[in-house]
Protein backbone atom coordinates (compact mmCIF):
# COMPACT_ATOMS: atom_id res chain seq x y z
CA UNK A 1 0.00 0.00 0.00
CA UNK A 2 1.38 3.42 -0.93
CA UNK A 3 0.77 6.68 0.97
CA UNK A 4 -2.05 7.85 -1.32
CA UNK A 5 -3.87 4.54 -0.93
CA UNK A 6 -3.40 4.65 2.83
CA UNK A 7 -4.78 8.20 3.01
CA UNK A 8 -7.92 7.20 1.13
CA UNK A 9 -8.48 4.05 3.17
CA UNK A 10 -7.80 5.67 6.54
CA UNK A 11 -9.95 8.73 5.83
CA UNK A 12 -12.84 6.51 4.78
CA UNK A 13 -12.61 3.75 7.38
CA UNK A 14 -10.78 5.06 10.46
CA UNK A 15 -13.63 6.48 12.53
CA UNK A 16 -15.81 3.43 12.12
CA UNK A 17 -12.88 1.15 12.94
CA UNK A 18 -12.41 2.78 16.36
CA UNK A 19 -16.17 3.22 16.89
CA UNK A 20 -15.94 7.00 16.96
CA UNK A 21 -19.44 8.48 16.51
CA UNK A 22 -19.63 9.79 12.95
CA UNK A 23 -22.10 12.51 13.89
CA UNK A 24 -19.65 14.30 16.22
CA UNK A 25 -19.51 17.97 15.22
CA UNK A 26 -17.99 21.27 16.24
CA UNK A 27 -20.02 24.33 17.31
CA UNK A 28 -21.22 25.30 13.84
CA UNK A 29 -22.06 21.78 12.73
CA UNK A 30 -18.93 20.96 10.74
CA UNK A 31 -17.89 17.35 11.40
CA UNK A 32 -14.92 16.19 13.42
CA UNK A 33 -12.97 14.35 10.74
CA UNK A 34 -9.93 12.11 10.57
CA UNK A 35 -6.74 14.20 10.54
CA UNK A 36 -4.28 12.61 8.14
CA UNK A 37 -0.45 12.66 8.26
CA UNK A 38 0.68 15.02 5.50
CA UNK A 39 4.39 15.32 6.36
CA UNK A 40 5.47 11.82 5.37
CA UNK A 41 9.25 11.41 5.01
CA UNK A 42 10.34 7.85 4.25
CA UNK A 43 13.25 6.11 5.97
CA UNK A 44 13.96 8.86 8.47
CA UNK A 45 12.27 9.98 11.73
CA UNK A 46 8.69 9.20 12.71
CA UNK A 47 6.96 11.24 15.42
CA UNK A 48 3.74 9.95 17.00
CA UNK A 49 1.65 12.27 19.16
CA UNK A 50 -1.45 11.38 21.20
CA UNK A 51 -4.16 13.00 19.01
CA UNK A 52 -4.50 16.06 16.78
CA UNK A 53 -5.25 19.49 18.17
CA UNK A 54 -8.13 21.60 16.88
CA UNK A 55 -8.04 25.18 15.69
CA UNK A 56 -8.99 27.25 18.73
CA UNK A 57 -10.83 30.58 18.60
CA UNK A 58 -11.73 33.51 20.87
CA UNK A 59 -15.52 33.57 20.72
CA UNK A 60 -17.96 35.75 22.73
CA UNK A 61 -15.17 36.52 25.22
CA UNK A 62 -14.46 32.81 25.65
CA UNK A 63 -10.85 31.83 24.80
CA UNK A 64 -9.65 28.62 23.20
CA UNK A 65 -12.93 27.37 21.76
CA UNK A 66 -12.30 24.45 19.34
CA UNK A 67 -14.10 25.16 16.06
CA UNK A 68 -12.29 23.33 13.25
CA UNK A 69 -9.94 20.41 12.63
CA UNK A 70 -6.24 21.11 12.25
CA UNK A 71 -4.88 20.62 8.75
CA UNK A 72 -2.48 17.90 9.92
CA UNK A 73 -0.91 16.43 13.05
CA UNK A 74 1.48 18.98 14.59
CA UNK A 75 0.25 21.65 12.15
CA UNK A 76 2.19 24.92 12.35
CA UNK A 77 0.23 27.04 9.87
CA UNK A 78 -0.82 30.38 11.47
CA UNK A 79 -4.41 31.60 11.63
CA UNK A 80 -6.38 34.46 13.22
CA UNK A 81 -8.46 33.28 16.17
CA UNK A 82 -10.70 36.34 16.53
CA UNK A 83 -8.25 38.04 18.87
CA UNK A 84 -4.73 37.36 17.62
CA UNK A 85 -2.63 35.44 15.13
CA UNK A 86 -1.69 32.04 16.54
CA UNK A 87 -0.76 28.50 15.59
CA UNK A 88 -0.96 25.09 17.21
CA UNK A 89 1.12 24.84 20.38
CA UNK A 90 1.70 21.16 19.58
CA UNK A 91 3.31 22.05 16.27
CA UNK A 92 5.25 24.93 17.79
CA UNK A 93 6.53 22.73 20.59
CA UNK A 94 7.56 19.96 18.22
CA UNK A 95 9.60 22.21 15.92
CA UNK A 96 11.02 24.76 18.38
CA UNK A 97 11.63 22.50 21.37
CA UNK A 98 11.84 18.86 20.37
CA UNK A 99 13.18 18.73 16.79
CA UNK A 100 15.71 21.54 17.30
CA UNK A 101 17.04 19.77 20.39
CA UNK A 102 17.28 16.46 18.55
CA UNK A 103 18.94 18.00 15.51
CA UNK A 104 16.16 16.82 13.20
CA UNK A 105 14.57 18.85 10.40
CA UNK A 106 10.78 18.89 10.10
CA UNK A 107 11.00 17.85 6.44
CA UNK A 108 12.88 14.70 7.53
CA UNK A 109 9.93 13.50 9.62
CA UNK A 110 6.78 11.45 9.26
CA UNK A 111 4.43 13.35 11.60
CA UNK A 112 1.35 11.53 12.82
CA UNK A 113 -0.87 10.82 15.83
CA UNK A 114 -2.04 7.58 17.39
CA UNK A 115 -5.67 8.69 17.70
CA UNK A 116 -6.55 10.60 14.54
CA UNK A 117 -9.56 12.63 15.65
CA UNK A 118 -9.88 15.62 17.97
CA UNK A 119 -11.33 14.78 21.38
CA UNK A 120 -13.44 17.09 23.56
CA UNK A 121 -12.61 17.38 27.25
CA UNK A 122 -14.87 18.57 30.08
CA UNK A 123 -13.69 22.18 29.68
CA UNK A 124 -14.73 22.15 26.02
CA UNK A 125 -18.15 20.83 27.06
CA UNK A 126 -18.60 23.79 29.45
CA UNK A 127 -17.56 26.31 26.81
CA UNK A 128 -19.91 24.85 24.23
CA UNK A 129 -22.78 24.83 26.73
CA UNK A 130 -22.19 28.54 27.39
CA UNK A 131 -22.34 29.08 23.61
CA UNK A 132 -25.61 27.16 23.32
CA UNK A 133 -24.51 23.73 22.10
CA UNK A 134 -24.43 20.45 24.00
CA UNK A 135 -21.59 18.06 23.15
CA UNK A 136 -20.41 14.80 24.67
CA UNK A 137 -17.07 14.65 26.47
CA UNK A 138 -14.96 11.93 24.81
CA UNK A 139 -11.40 12.67 25.96
CA UNK A 140 -11.87 10.10 28.74
CA UNK A 141 -12.21 7.42 26.03
CA UNK A 142 -8.73 8.12 24.71
CA UNK A 143 -7.19 4.77 25.63
CA UNK A 144 -10.13 2.90 24.12
CA UNK A 145 -9.68 4.77 20.84
CA UNK A 146 -5.89 4.44 21.05
CA UNK A 147 -5.93 0.67 21.40
CA UNK A 148 -8.25 0.35 18.40
CA UNK A 149 -5.92 2.64 16.41
CA UNK A 150 -2.88 0.34 16.74
CA UNK A 151 -3.43 -1.44 13.38
CA UNK A 152 -3.41 1.93 11.59
CA UNK A 153 -0.21 3.16 13.22
CA UNK A 154 1.47 -0.16 12.45
CA UNK A 155 0.64 0.37 8.78
CA UNK A 156 2.23 3.81 8.97
CA UNK A 157 5.38 2.47 10.61
CA UNK A 158 5.66 -0.12 7.85
CA UNK A 159 5.27 2.53 5.14
CA UNK A 160 7.52 5.10 6.83
CA UNK A 161 10.29 2.56 7.60
CA UNK A 162 11.92 5.03 10.03
CA UNK A 163 15.31 4.57 11.65
CA UNK A 164 13.74 5.88 14.88
CA UNK A 165 10.20 6.48 16.15
CA UNK A 166 9.62 9.29 18.66
CA UNK A 167 6.71 8.49 21.01
CA UNK A 168 5.29 11.58 22.73
CA UNK A 169 3.39 11.03 25.95
CA UNK A 170 2.74 8.17 28.32
CA UNK A 171 -0.56 7.23 26.63
CA UNK A 172 1.20 6.70 23.30
CA UNK A 173 4.10 4.88 24.94
CA UNK A 174 1.91 2.53 26.97
CA UNK A 175 -0.32 1.72 23.98
CA UNK A 176 2.48 0.95 21.53
CA UNK A 177 5.00 -0.66 23.87
CA UNK A 178 2.36 -2.52 25.90
CA UNK A 179 3.47 -1.22 29.29
CA UNK A 180 1.73 0.44 32.25
CA UNK A 181 1.50 4.22 32.61
CA UNK A 182 4.13 4.08 35.35
CA UNK A 183 6.52 2.10 33.14
CA UNK A 184 5.81 4.52 30.28
CA UNK A 185 6.89 7.45 32.45
CA UNK A 186 10.07 5.57 33.39
CA UNK A 187 10.84 5.12 29.68
CA UNK A 188 10.90 8.90 29.10
CA UNK A 189 14.68 9.14 29.43
CA UNK A 190 15.74 9.84 25.86
CA UNK A 191 17.38 6.40 25.55
CA UNK A 192 16.34 4.29 22.57
CA UNK A 193 14.26 1.17 23.20
CA UNK A 194 14.26 -1.61 20.62
CA UNK A 195 11.01 -3.51 20.12
CA UNK A 196 9.71 -5.75 17.35
CA UNK A 197 6.81 -4.17 15.46
CA UNK A 198 5.19 -6.10 12.60
CA UNK A 199 8.16 -7.93 11.06
CA UNK A 200 11.31 -6.19 12.27
CA UNK A 201 12.87 -4.49 15.28
CA UNK A 202 12.15 -0.78 15.57
CA UNK A 203 13.95 1.80 17.71
CA UNK A 204 11.73 3.99 19.89
CA UNK A 205 12.60 7.10 21.89
CA UNK A 206 10.04 8.09 24.52
CA UNK A 207 9.47 11.77 25.34
CA UNK A 208 6.93 13.78 27.37
CA UNK A 209 3.59 14.48 25.72
CA UNK A 210 2.94 17.68 23.72
CA UNK A 211 2.09 20.60 25.98
CA UNK A 212 4.23 19.58 28.94
CA UNK A 213 7.42 21.05 27.51
CA UNK A 214 5.88 24.52 27.03
CA UNK A 215 4.22 24.58 30.46
CA UNK A 216 6.64 26.64 32.55
CA UNK A 217 4.68 26.43 35.81
CA UNK A 218 6.73 25.77 38.93
CA UNK A 219 5.03 22.44 39.54
CA UNK A 220 5.90 21.02 36.12
CA UNK A 221 9.39 19.44 36.14
CA UNK A 222 9.40 18.25 32.51
CA UNK A 223 10.78 21.35 30.69
CA UNK A 224 13.90 21.34 32.88
CA UNK A 225 14.23 17.54 32.71
CA UNK A 226 14.05 17.70 28.93
CA UNK A 227 16.51 20.61 28.63
CA UNK A 228 19.08 19.22 31.07
CA UNK A 229 19.00 15.47 30.51
CA UNK A 230 16.30 13.89 28.34
CA UNK A 231 16.83 16.10 25.29
CA UNK A 232 20.64 15.75 25.12
CA UNK A 233 20.42 11.98 25.62
CA UNK A 234 17.78 11.71 22.88
CA UNK A 235 19.87 13.86 20.52
CA UNK A 236 22.87 11.55 21.00
CA UNK A 237 20.68 8.51 20.36
CA UNK A 238 19.18 10.01 17.20
CA UNK A 239 22.66 10.80 15.88
CA UNK A 240 23.80 7.23 16.63
CA UNK A 241 20.78 5.62 14.96
CA UNK A 242 21.06 7.92 11.95
CA UNK A 243 24.68 6.91 11.54
CA UNK A 244 23.84 3.21 11.87
CA UNK A 245 21.20 3.67 9.17
CA UNK A 246 23.87 5.11 6.88
CA UNK A 247 22.26 8.56 6.61
The enclosing domain of 120 has a CATH number of: 3.40.470.10
Quote the pLDDT of residue 77: 85
For the stretch 114-129, pLDDT in tens is 999 999 999 999 999 9
Do residues 175 and 187 touch, judged by C-beta distance below 8 A? no
Quote the pLDDT of residue 198: 67
Spatial CB neighbours of 45, under 8 Å, sequence gap ≥ 6? 102, 104, 108, 109, 110, 162, 163, 164, 165, 166, 238
Quote the pLDDT of residue 199: 66
If we measure between CA atoms, which residue out of 193, 202, 190, 203 comes closest to residue 234? 190
Which range, 210-214, 217-221, 241-245, is most confident? Answer: 241-245
- Angle (CA) 146-151-152 rounded to 5° is 80
Quote the pLDDT of residue 145: 97
Q: Residue 89: is its pLDDT beyond 80?
A: no
Q: Residue 34: is its pLDDT beyond 70?
A: yes
* Total domains present in the chain: 1
Spatial CB neighbours of 246, under 8 Å, sequence gap ≥ 6? none
Q: Residue 217: is its pLDDT beyond 90?
A: no
Q: Residue 9: is its pLDDT beyond 80?
A: yes
For the stretch 168-185, pLDDT in tens is 999 999 999 989 989 999
Do residues 137 and 128 touch, judged by C-beta distance below 8 A? no
Q: What's the chain's average pLDDT? A: 92
Dihedral of CA 110/242/186/154: which sign? positive
Quote the pLDDT of residue 128: 97
Plot region of 2 (φ>0 → left; ψ -120 to 50 → alpha; else → beta): beta
**Percent of the chain residues past pLDDT 70, beyond the cut:** 99
**Could you list the residue range(s) of the whole structural domain that residue 230 is in?**
3-244
pLDDT band at residue 218, thresholds of 50, 70 and 90?
A: confident
Q: Residue 67: is its pLDDT beyond 80?
A: yes
pLDDT mean over 26-43: 96
pLDDT band at residue 44, thresholds of 50, 70 and 90?
A: very high
Distances (CA, A) of 131 to 25, 124, 126: 14, 11, 9
* C-alpha–C-alpha distance, residues 166 and 194, integer Å: 12
pLDDT band at residue 241, thresholds of 50, 70 and 90?
A: very high
Amino acid sequence: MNIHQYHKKCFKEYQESIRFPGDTTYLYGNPVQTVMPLQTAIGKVMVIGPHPAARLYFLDNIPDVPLYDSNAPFATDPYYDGSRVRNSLMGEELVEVVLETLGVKEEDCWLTSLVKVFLFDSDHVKKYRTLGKEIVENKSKYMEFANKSIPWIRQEIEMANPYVVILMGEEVISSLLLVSDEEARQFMTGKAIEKKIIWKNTNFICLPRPGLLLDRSARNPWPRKFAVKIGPVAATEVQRLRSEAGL
